Structure 1
Amino acid sequence: MPLTDLECKNAACPPELKRVRLADGQGLYLEVAPAGSKRWFWKYYFGGKEKRLALGSYPDTAPKAARLKRDEARLLQQAGSDPAQERIVAKLQRKAASVNTFEAVARDFHQLKASGWSDHYAERWLARLEKDVLPWIGKLPIVDVKAPLLLSTLRRVEGRGVKELAHSLREACGQVFKHGNSIGACEHNPAATLGGALKPVATKHMAAVLEPKAAGDLMRAIYGYEGQPSTRTALELSALIFQRPGNVRAMEWAWVDLDSAMLTIPADSMKRIKAGKINGRPHFVPLAPRAVELLKDLQPLTGHGRFVFPSLLTGERAMSDNTLRTALRRMGFDNDTMTPHGFRAMARTLMVERLNVHPDVIEAQLAHGKSGPLGMAYDRAEFMEQRRQMMDLWADYLQRLAQGAEIVPFKAA
């Protein structure tokens, strides 16, 4: 006869015995220990061996609940599965799901890759996910994050009008899913299917002056700039050396060798991955006579400090990243016409189209890396002569443009 709740409640084990087992039926029994604990077990056979499966403790598990658990286990047995083994697998799967949340996999990927990224990129990558992705799907097992759920998360970002960020987050999530696949946390990458589900982003290049006449207007405006002398010098030097705005405004006097007319930007100050910053070569920028003249004139004003272009508020920091942009606006060049970064595009375009300078030489000077056999060669310090010729030619051309000379294409010497 099946056990009643009263029989289970009154069941006891004499102290001289290790345990007492009270049969309920079909292999189910209640095991009572001398200390008073009472546990349900089901005895069954699988693969010719006797086994038993724990089904809970009394009174938390009442007799009726214990029988239901026994019947569920019997169905597994009859289907050819070992109930005890199935329980172990289910437990492992639950544990894996709790550990392999989207957030856990994302942070594991970040920890794995951050050492090879620049500090700025590593910080921004994680910060973006922490703000716009993890609050919504971070606590879910990564296997439960399907395409519709990820899309709704990305559309929250898209709804704020930052379409480019939504696309960037999709790519970052794709990296997380690929990493999850590699460590066995998931099998699919739903981010890969969502490229067409987000609003397209129109690529907008940095505004730049690209025509000779407009470049001449720009140079004359710079020559006539009536603001701070260091700002005017930074503007003209930006045109002459066409380096990244961050490298111009953060330029240090220790990088400048006026005697040899050379600017040497340390590897750790360049736009590179972390390995390139640590192990890479510095970037060499030959200075045309006009650039040397500008720096010599500025040296009495700022040469006593660290930075060539120090902050106007405190000499302890470099010029603000907005100083040159504001100066361009004061001269009548808004963000749709010219930006500090636009000096690079202006130099590359006009030198290729008007001065017939080989693109690979310019790319090397722009620090864009090796774009071909010439780029590979010109990216080495011992090939400086070609760069010097190019920089001198460019400085002379800018002066001709500012003087309003007739602009016609001609070959580099």
Structure 2
Amino acid sequence: MPRRVLPLTDVQIRNAKPREKTYSLTDGHGLYIEIMPSGSKLWRMKFPQRGRGDNRLSFGAYPVVTLQEAREKRLATQRLLLQGIDPGRYRDDKKRLAAEKGSNTFEKVAREWHGNKVPTWSERTATNTLRRLELDIFPEIGRLPIHEVRHRDLIDALRKIESRGAHEVAHRIMAVCKQIFSYGIQIGLLERNIAADMKDVLKTVRPSHFAAIDTDELPDFLAALRRNESRMLKPTLICLRLMMLIFVRTSELIETPWSEIDLEKGEWVIPWQRMKRGKLTVNPDTTNHHVCLSRQALALLRELHAITGGGTYLFPNQRDHKKPLSNNAILKSLERMGYKGKMTGHGFRALAMTTIKERLGYRHEVIDRQLAHAPPDKLSSAYDRAQYLAERKVMMQAWADYLDSL
């Protein structure tokens, strides 16, 4: 008949004195406490391991782990054994998972997410997204394991951005963080997306349009441009005049290579890959954009070719001719003209749309196609190319002549 083991008492454990050699006091069902010669008292549990004899688990040191807590750990181990789970392997797996979670910091997961998204983004989007994270988020929460980031941590980081007046940036970064936490859920690192609940923590940003002068202000703008001609580099001046004449998007103009321009035929066709809708990852518009050139625009391009025609771009960067002109150069020129906050490169598009409709009487559809806005469907796209190109050429010449008349 097996010897009956009496459960330990807290007094018995507390009064146990160290001996020359390690000895143990048994509580029953595999649980015992070892008394070390140093006086340390360690909880252990012996359990049968299938095919490998007995194994042992350590539950920690007494009195940090009390008698009651040690018994609770024993009970949890017994439950695992009843389920056929090896407690030793279960313990090791928990340690491994905890280590993995601890090493998966917000920055590490964010960079992994970013790397997965890069193939679907434009180079500018990829660069700007990572740069925003590196400047504003990684210094605040990047070192924290992603599952330990609290609402308060993220809110503080976002409001720090907001406090410097960058309200739109704060909203954009919050949307990025939401995607990163969603990715963390998908790869099993956390169970809740804390950014998904943050609908009202930032101040509401009213949608705003790009600054643009109106039609009545156009004569004064042209006069200011004439007054400031001597203060501008010739390519910058030509760039501003071309933006007014052809009103393509700023990036589509300053990033134009000479290879797209046929000065002999007077033609300029922008490949669809460079157009805004051509860069979409889902259903990109594969329609090349015909930039209808007036006589005035063609004359400016020929003048520009004598200056920059030996290089790659129409408007090379002054510091590095292998790169195109910076959009900031356009904004700075407008600022020197006294139009800071009143006019932008994109504003020329709004100005042209309004003026051509109101003063020249052209239909919205014709102007819209010249602006390379999205047609409603592929059939309409094909129709636009066939039906509006001739009208657009006439319209663009009329627009250039109207500007000359002012």
Could you say which TM-score interval applies, normalised by the shorter chain?
Answer: 0.7 to 0.9
2:224 counterpart of 1:218: no
Match of 1:347 in 2: 352
| Paired letter, 2:238 | T
Match of 1:293 in 2: 299
2:98 counterpart of 1:94: yes
Query: Is the Cα contact below 8 Å between 2:43 and 2:62 reproduced in 1?
Result: no
| Paired letter, 1:147 | H
2:186 counterpart of 1:178: no
Deviations 1:111-138 (A, max 9, x none): 2111211222212212222222223323
Task: Structure 1 unaligned segments of length 5 or more: list them.
Answer: 12-20, 32-38, 405-413
Deviations 1:246-271 (A, max 9, x none): 33233332221123322133455444
Compute the displacement of 1:300 (Å): 3.0
Alignment of 1:337-376 (within 5 A): 337-355=342-360, 357-372=362-377, 376=381
Q: Secondary structure at the match of 2:143?
A: coil
Match of 1:410 in 2: none
Q: Give the stretch that moved more between structures: 265-274 or 184-193.
A: 265-274
Alignment of 1:255-266 (within 5 A): 255-266=260-271
Query: Is the Cα contact below 8 Å between 1:360 and 1:374 reproduced in 2?
Result: no
Match of 2:161 in 1: 157
| Paired letter, 2:21 | N
1:391–1:336 CA distance, 2 compared to 1 (3 A): farther
Task: Structure 2 unaligned segments of length 5 or more: list them.
Answer: 1-5, 35-41
Compute the displacement of 1:215 (Å): 2.8
Match of 1:250 in 2: 255
1:287–1:224 CA distance, 2 compared to 1 (3 A): farther
Q: Given the two structures, how large is their TM-score scaled by the length of structure 1?
A: 0.74
Q: Secondary structure at the match of 1:197?
A: coil
1:122 to 120, 126, 139: 126
Deviations 1:42-96 (A, max 9, x none): 23589xxx9754116xxx9579969666423234368788692764564355235
Match of 1:14 in 2: none
1:126–1:205 CA distance, 2 compared to 1 (3 A): same
Match of 1:411 in 2: none
| Paired letter, 2:74 | R
Match of 1:324 in 2: 330
1:70–1:320 CA distance, 2 compared to 1 (3 A): closer
Give the percent of matched residue pairs that are identical in Structure 1 and Structure 2: 31
2:401 counterpart of 1:392: no
Match of 2:71 in 1: 71
Q: Secondary structure at the match of 1:287?
A: coil
1:10 to 15, 21, 25: 21
CA distance in 1, matches of 2:177, 2:379: 38
1:64–1:140 CA distance, 2 compared to 1 (3 A): closer
Deviations 1:99-156 (A, max 9, x none): 4433332222112111211222212212222222223323333333333332122112
1:305–1:78 CA distance, 2 compared to 1 (3 A): closer
| Paired letter, 2:175 | E
In angstroms, what is the RMSD of aligned CA positions? 4.1
Compute the displacement of 1:219 (Å): 4.2
Query: Is the Cα contact below 8 Å between 1:289 and 1:392 reproduced in 2?
Result: no
Q: Secondary structure at the match of 1:43?
A: strand
Compute the displacement of 1:210 (Å): 2.8
Compute the displacement of 1:334 (Å): 0.8
Query: Is the Cα contact below 8 Å between 1:103 and 1:134 reproduced in 2?
Result: yes
1:235 to 229, 240, 261: 240
Compute the displacement of 1:166 (Å): 1.4
Compute the displacement of 1:285 (Å): 1.6
Q: Given the two structures, how large is their TM-score scaled by the length of structure 2?
A: 0.75
Query: Is the Cα contact below 8 Å between 2:31 and 2:71 reproduced in 1?
Result: no
2:46 to 40, 43, 47: 43
2:145 to 132, 136, 141: 141
CA distance in 2, matches of 1:367, 1:402: 24
Match of 2:39 in 1: none
How many corresponding residue pairs? 377
Compute the displacement of 1:171 (Å): 0.6
1:153–1:342 CA distance, 2 compared to 1 (3 A): same
Q: Secondary structure at the match of 1:10?
A: coil
Query: Is the Cα contact below 8 Å between 2:370 and 2:392 reproduced in 1?
Result: no
CA distance in 2, matches of 1:384, 1:117: 31
